[in-house]
C-alpha cells in the first residue's frame, strides 16, 4: 500500500510539473484522441520506430549497459531493420543527458565532403546543381565514428556486446514490419539500378514483403569488424576499401585519408527558454536553430489562450515556421567554414521584432531572411529517431539518417549497407555558407531535441526532412501551451510545410474541418492528408522525473514502440 501511495503522489507531481506551465485556458482545449498510452516504469525505456530494435536496446540495458550502450544497440539494429531510413552508411547526431551532473552534451557526427568535391569539379561533370543521388551526393558517413565517441566517453559496454543483437539479426534474419515494408517497396526501382544494391536489398529480385524474413550477412560481417576494431573496423581496412572502390567505379573523389581522418565533434547545444521550459537542439550545421527561432516567435502570442487546433494558434505557428526557415536557409552551413550568427538569430529582442511580421488576418506567401550586418546569406526524407533512458535517468536523444529513401543508391561491394546522399543538401552557388567544398559538412535536416523544467527531462524527436524543426516546435507547444503528456503531444494532428515559398501547407485531417475552413479564409492553401501518413514524420519521446519515474512514447504513424526494461527478477 505504501509503495502505491508513493507512486500515485509521483504521478501527481509529474502531471503538475508538465501542466502547470500551460497557458491560461489550456485546460479547456480539446485533447487529441490517442491510440496508445505512455509506457511508465521505474527502470529504463528504449523508444524506436522498430520494436525489435527497441527490444535490442532494452536487452543491453538488462545486461548492465546504460542509455548510451542501449542507444548504440538499438541504432545498429534499426540500421539493419529499417534500411530505408538509416544505417552505417549515414550520419548521426545526439544529445546526451548525464543525470549525475545534470549536463547536456551534443554530438555532431555528420561527415564531410571528400577531397576534390568542388563547384568547379561538379560543373566539369555537367552539373548545375548538386546531384540528388549517386556518388556526388555522398559525404563521409559519420555514424560509426559517432558511436565510437559516445561509447568511449559515456558507455559502459564494449562494442562486442552492444552490437551483438544487430549481428544476430543480420545473420539469422528478422521479419519485416508493416510501414518499413511499404517504404522498401517504393524504392524497388532505384535499388534495381545498381547490382550491389539489388543483391543486398532485393532478395529474389524484389523488396521483402510484410512478415517476410530478411537476412543481411554482409552487414553482419561489417558490424563484426566494428565490434573487433572499433572505428578502425569501418574507416580503415576492408569496409573503407569497399567505399573507395565504389567511389572509383562511379567517378568519385574519395581518398583513404578522407575516411581515416574524419572525426565527429562534441558541441555545445543551443537552447531557448519557452514559457519556462529550456528547449535544446544541436547547433549548426543542422536545422535545429529553426525550431528554436520558431518557438521564440510563437512565444510572442498567447497560443494557450487561443486553444489547441484553433485557427489562431495554427496560423501563428505556420507563419512562424516561414520566418524561422527563411533565417535558417539564409545563414546555416558548416560553422568551420563560415560565420553563423547564432546568438542574434536566437535573440528574444530580435524575435519580438520579427514576430511583428506575422499578420493575424493574412498568410504571407513570401518572406525574407533577417538581415545581420556582416553576414553573407546562403540558399539552401528518410530518417529514424530513437531515444533511451536508463534506470539512473541518463537520456540519449539520437537521430540517424540516409537522407532520401535508401540514400545515394550505392552499396559498396560486400558490406551490406547503403551510402547516404546527405551531400545533396549542398548548394553550388558561390560564396554561400552552404556551398560545396572539400572537407566541409552540408546543412543537415536531422535534429535530436531535449527539453527540461523543474527536474523533468524529455528527450524527443520527430523525423522527416524539413518537417523536423516545425514538428519539434509543435511538440513543445503541445506540452507547454496545451498541457499534453508526451504520447498526446506526439499523436496530435500536425501541419507541415516542406516548401520555402508560397502559402501551401499540408495538414492532417485530424485538424477539424471548421478550423481548416478558417485557415483557408486567412489565405493558407491547404492540402488535407489522411491521418497517420508518412509526410508528417514520426517520433519518439522519453521523460524522466525527480522521483525516478520514467515515461516512454512512440507514435502510431510508424511501426515503433516504447519498450520498458524488466527488473532482474530471475537473476536473484
Told to judge if 383 belongs to the known catalytic residues of this protein, a careful annotator would answer: yes
Q: What is the mean pLDDT of the chain?
A: 91
Over residues 417-438, the pLDDT tens digits come to 999 999 999 999 888 888 999 9
Q: Write down the catalytic residue from 383, 387, 388, 445.
A: 383
User: Among 268, 241, 311, 301, which Cα is nearest to 96's?
Assistant: 268
Q: What's the pLDDT score for residue 381?
A: 53
311, HSE (Cβ side, Cα atoms, 13 Å): 17
Tell me which of 567 and 550 has the higher pLDDT.
550
Residue 252 Cα to chain centre, angstroms: 28
pLDDT > 90: percent of the chain: 80
pLDDT of residue 31: 82
Confidence of residue 569 (pLDDT cuts 50, 70, 90): confident
- How much is the average pLDDT of 11-20? 40
Q: By C-alpha distance, which of 48, 73, 174 is closest to 559?
A: 48
Torsion angle, CA of 241/243/248/253, rounded to 10 degrees? -110
How far apart (Å, rounded) are the C-alpha atoms in residues 322 and 225?
Answer: 45
Q: What is the pLDDT of residues 328-368, one digit of tens each?
A: 888 888 989 988 899 999 999 999 999 999 999 999 999 87
Q: Residue 172, exposed/middle/buried by CB under 10 A (0-12, 13-18, 19+)?
A: exposed
Rounded Cα distance, 128 and 250, in Å: 19
Give the mean pLDDT of 523-536. Answer: 89
304 or 15: which leads in pLDDT: 304
Across the range 115-142, mean pLDDT stands at 96
Q: Half-sphere exposure of 373 toward its Cβ, with a 13 Å CA cutoff?
A: 0
In the predicted model, what is the mean pLDDT of residues 139-167? 98
Q: How many CB atoms are closer than 10 A to CB 542?
A: 31
Listed range (189-198, 210-219, 382-391, 477-486) with the worst mean pLDDT: 382-391
Reply yes or no on whether the pLDDT at 294 is more than 70: yes
Is pLDDT of 511 > 70?
Answer: yes
3-class DSSP assignment, residue 281:
strand
Backbone angles phi, psi at 61, to 5 degrees: -60, -45
- Per residue in 63-108, pLDDT tens? 999 999 999 999 999 999 999 989 999 999 999 999 999 999 999 9
Weakest mean pLDDT among 24-28, 290-294, 442-446, 562-566: 24-28
Please determine, for residue 110, whether its predicted confidence score (pLDDT) is greater than 90: yes
**How many Cα atoms within 13 Å fall on the side-chain side of residue 547?**
19
210 confidence band (pLDDT: 50, 70, 90): very high
Using pLDDT thresholds of 50, 70 and 90, give the confidence band for residue 18.
Answer: very low
pLDDT tops 90 at residue 535: no
Kindly report, residue by residue over 158-169, the tens digit of the pLDDT. 999 999 999 999
Q: Is the pLDDT of residue 374 over 50?
A: no
Kindly provide the b/e burial profile for residues 308-339, where b requires at least 16 CB atoms within 10 angstroms of the residue's own CB. Answer: bbbbbbbbbbbbbbbbbbbbbbbbbbbbeebe
- Whether 292 has a pLDDT exceeding 70, the answer reads yes
CA 255 vs CA 124, 146, 158, 244, 415: distances in Å: 19, 20, 29, 7, 18
Asked whether the beta carbons of 393 and 456 are under 8 A apart, the reply is: no
Q: Is the pLDDT of residue 278 over 50?
A: yes
For residues 249-259, average pLDDT: 97
Distances (CA, A) of 529 to 9, 492, 522, 532: 41, 14, 19, 9
Give 494 or 378, the one with higher predicted confidence: 494
Amino acid at each position: 500500500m505504501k509503495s502505491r501511495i508513493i507512486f500515485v503522489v509521483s504521478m501527481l507531481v509529474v502531471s503538475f510539473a508538465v501542466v502547470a506551465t500551460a497557458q491560461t485556458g489550456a485546460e479547456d482545449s480539446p485533447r487529441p484522441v490517442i491510440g496508445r498510452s505512455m509506457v511508465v516504469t521505474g527502470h529504463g525505456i528504449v523508444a524506436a520506430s522498430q520494436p525489435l530494435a527497441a527490444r535490442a536496446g532494452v536487452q543491453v540495458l538488462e545486461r548492465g549497459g546504460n542509455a548510451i550502450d542501449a542507444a548504440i544497440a538499438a541504432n545498429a539494429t534499426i540500421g539493419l531493420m529499417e534500411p530505408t531510413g538509416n544505417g552505417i552508411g549515414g550520419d548521426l547526431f545526439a544529445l546526451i543527458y548525464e543525470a549525475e551532473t545534470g549536463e547536456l552534451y551534443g554530438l555532431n557526427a555528420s561527415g564531410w565532403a571528400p577531397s576534390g568535391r568542388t563547384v568547379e569539379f561538379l560543373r566539369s561533370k555537367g552539373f548545375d546543381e548538386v546531384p540528388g543521388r549517386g556518388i556526388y551526393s555522398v559525404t563521409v558517413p559519420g555514424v560509426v565514428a559517432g558511436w565510437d565517441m559516445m561509447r568511449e566517453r559515456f558507455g559502459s559496454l564494449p562494442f562486442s556486446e552492444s552490437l551483438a543483437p544487430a549481428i544476430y539479426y543480420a545473420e539469422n534474419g528478422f521479419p519485416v514490419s508493416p510501414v518499413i515494408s511499404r517504404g522498401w517497396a517504393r524504392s524497388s526501382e532505384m535499388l534495381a539500378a545498381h547490382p550491389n544494391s539489388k543483391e543486398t536489398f532485393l532478395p529474389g529480385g524484389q523488396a521483402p514483403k510484410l512478415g517476410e524474413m530478411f537476412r543481411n550477412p554482409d552487414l553482419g560481417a561489417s558490424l563484426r569488424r566494428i565490434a573487433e576494431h572499433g572505428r578502425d573496423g569501418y574507416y580503415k581496412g576492408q569496409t573503407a576499401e569497399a567505399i573507395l572502390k565504389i567511389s572509383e567505379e562511379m567517378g568519385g573523389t574519395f581518398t583513404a585519408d578522407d575516411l581515416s581522418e574524419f572525426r565527429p565533434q562534441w558541441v555545445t547545444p543551443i537552447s531557448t527558454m519557452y514559457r519556462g521550459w529550456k528547449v535544446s537542439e544541436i547547433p549548426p550545421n543542422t536545422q535545429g536553430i529553426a525550431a528554436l527561432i520558431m518557438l521564440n516567435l510563437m512565444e510572442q502570442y498567447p497560443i494557450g489562450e487561443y486553444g489547441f487546433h484553433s485557427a489562431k494558434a495554427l496560423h501563428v505557428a505556420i507563419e512562424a515556421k516561414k520566418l524561422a526557415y527563411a533565417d535558417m536557409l539564409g545563414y546555416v552551413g558548416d560553422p568551420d567554414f563560415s560565420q553563423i550568427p547564432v546568438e542574434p538569430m536566437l535573440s528574444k529582442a530580435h524575435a519580438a521584432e520579427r514576430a511583428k511580421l506575422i499578420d493575424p488576418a493574412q498568410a504571407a506567401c513570401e518572406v525574407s531572411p533577417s538581415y545581420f550586418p556582416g553576414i553573407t546569406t546562403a540558399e539552401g526524407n528518410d530518417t529514424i529517431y530513437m531515444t533511451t533512458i536508463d534506470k539512473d535517468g541518463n537520456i540519449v536523444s539520437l537521430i540517424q539518417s540516409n537522407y532520401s529513401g535508401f540514400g545515394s543508391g550505392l552499396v559498396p561491394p560486400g558490406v551490406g549497407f547503403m551510402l547516404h546522399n546527405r551531400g545533396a543538401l549542398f548548394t553550388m552557388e558561390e560564396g554561400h555558407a552552404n556551398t560545396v567544398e572539400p572537407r566541409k559538412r552540408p546543412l543537415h535536416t536531422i535534429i535530436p531535441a531535449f527539453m527540461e523544467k523543474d527536474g523533468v527531462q524529455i528527450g524527443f524527436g520527430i523525423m522527416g526532412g524539413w518537417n523536423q524543426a516545425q514538428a519539434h516546435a509543435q511538440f513543445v507547444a503541445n506540452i507547454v501551451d496545451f498541457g499534453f503528456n508526451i504520447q498526446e503531444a506526439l499523436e496530435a494532428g500536425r501541419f507541415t510545410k516542406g516548401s520555402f515559398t508560397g502559402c501551401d501547407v499540408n495538414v492532417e485531417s485530424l485538424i477539424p474541418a471548421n478550423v481548416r475552413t478558417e485557415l483557408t479564409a486567412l489565405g493558407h492553401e491547404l492540402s488535407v492528408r489522411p491521418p497517420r501518413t508518412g509526410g508528417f514524420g514520426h517520433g519518439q519521446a522519453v521523460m524522466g522525473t525527480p522521483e525516478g519515474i520514467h515515461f516512454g512514447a512512440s507514435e502510431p504513424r510508424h511501426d515503433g514502440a516504447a519498450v520498458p526494461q524488466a527488473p532482474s527478477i530471475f537473476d536473484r
